[in-house]
Structure 1
């Protein structure tokens, strides 16, 4: 893992932890990041914060208004409903829109709490744990999942959901953030879903799939 991380950093640059957001902010930001680019999800989150001064306002606003505020992030109507559903459950449980008490819970307790919210799965929960709380989680998105399979870190039939716990156990805590970010960048630019650029890959000699992909003509 250390060799892979070093090569990813040399190829794509180092990744320094971003500013930690409050838990609900990171939760909503992760929902907005689904099925869109980082740029568009960032614009959607900024639009939401500019339109509404609190999460209470977001919760009680008409859903079309919330959707309008996040339109740049794509599938805005679906995401607006999901955000309000999440906020509704949090308010019912906590009697306020604040999840700071989760900092006092274990990683496992936080993970199960977040996964019990509407539409929140392992990836979103892991993102909140890692990015907002600084915990030792390892989020697995489509890029991380694909690259991990090709490298042979997990088997070809391992689901993304199962990969969270499998990779979380294998990746040392201090490498989880840089390795996660490096795999995402690598998956977007080199180890692409179609026609990966194996001849340009800094991990080629460590990869289980690269030689076969090149030999079959499925990679460049």
Structure 2
């Protein structure tokens, strides 16, 4: 028979971290995270399509080969899907991605008249996301990557590492899907910290909070992590 003096369960004792605390603890371990543009927005769009369902190494090689082959995005847009497919073969799913790249580039050019998407940086964040997501194959993650990495806007891309770490820390609930996670995680930290928050969670997921065998014994967040010890 239980009594009021019975020791509370571990679950009830855990004080969950808030996102700013997570950032503060991870910064000395996984920082610094300084933003600098990787590509311009249209180039980032193409690179991000290539990065879907493959490694950074493969997508990087595919993008480099694509640009070495065609030189400009105009030339890519004018090329046949078969020619694009041949150039991006290193990236995997080349047949599907070649059609997607050509389609999106042509739709963007029809609407804008060029591949200069720098105007997105002058739009409110939600409007810029909406503008990008109207194109086929561009969802919350791809839109956030373009705005964050190319334009330095406070958009929070959520990849598999961020999604996993956020759920284990209970920053988001277990039933929240990856698309919804973007909307929930982004406002948890000030806009100026969104990029660093993104980088720290990715690095922590890759190095410590791994999918199969997380290194809870080495984790600086273990003290208040609701999932600590569940993978022993």
> So what's the TM-score if we normalise by structure 2?
0.86
- 1:57-136 matched pairs, under 5 angstroms: 57-136=75-154
Q: Distance in 1 between matches of 2:73 and 2:53?
A: 23
Q: Distance in 1 between matches of 2:115 and 2:36?
A: 23
Q: Which of 5, 27, 45 is the matching residue for 1:27?
A: 45
Deviations 1:31-55 (A, max 9, x none): 1111122122111111111111211
If asked which structure has higher relative contact order (CA below 8 Å, sep 6+), I would say: 2
Q: Report the alpha carbon displacement of residue 9 of structure 1 after superposing the two structures with TM.
A: 3.1
Consecutive unaligned residues of structure 2, counting only runs of 5 or more, are 1-18
Q: Report the alpha carbon displacement of residue 161 of structure 1 after superposing the two structures with TM.
A: 0.8
- 1:175-194 matched pairs, under 5 angstroms: 175-194=193-212
Q: Report the alpha carbon displacement of residue 200 of structure 1 after superposing the two structures with TM.
A: 1.6
Q: Is the 8 A contact 1:20 1:133 kept in 2?
A: no
Q: Is the 8 A contact 2:147 2:153 kept in 1?
A: yes
Q: Which of 24, 30, 33 is the matching residue for 1:15?
A: 33
Q: Distance in 2 between matches of 1:178 and 1:159?
A: 22
Q: Is the 8 A contact 2:41 2:117 kept in 1?
A: yes
Deviations 1:52-77 (A, max 9, x none): 12111101112121122222211112
Q: Is the 8 A contact 2:141 2:158 kept in 1?
A: yes
Deviations 1:112-159 (A, max 9, x none): 010111110000101111111111111111111110010010111111
Q: Distance in 2 between matches of 1:199 and 1:14?
A: 23
- Number of equivalent positions: 214
Rg larger in 1 or in 2?
Answer: 2
RMSD over equivalenced CA pairs, Å: 1.5
Q: Distance in 2 between matches of 1:102 and 1:173?
A: 17
User: Are 2:167 and 1:149 aligned?
Assistant: yes
Q: Is the 8 A contact 2:20 2:188 kept in 1?
A: no
SS of alignment partner, residue 156 of structure 1: coil
Q: Which of 6, 15, 22 is the matching residue for 1:4?
A: 22
Per the alignment, residue 58 of structure 2 pairs with 40
Q: Distance in 1 between matches of 2:218 and 2:191?
A: 29
SS of alignment partner, residue 32 of structure 2: coil
Q: Report the alpha carbon displacement of residue 2 of structure 1 after superposing the two structures with TM.
A: 3.5
Q: Report the alpha carbon displacement of residue 168 of structure 1 after superposing the two structures with TM.
A: 0.9
Q: Is the 8 A contact 1:8 1:202 kept in 2?
A: yes
Q: Report the alpha carbon displacement of residue 20 of structure 1 after superposing the two structures with TM.
A: 4.1
Consecutive unaligned residues of structure 1, counting only runs of 5 or more, are none
Q: Distance in 2 between matches of 1:101 and 1:183?
A: 29
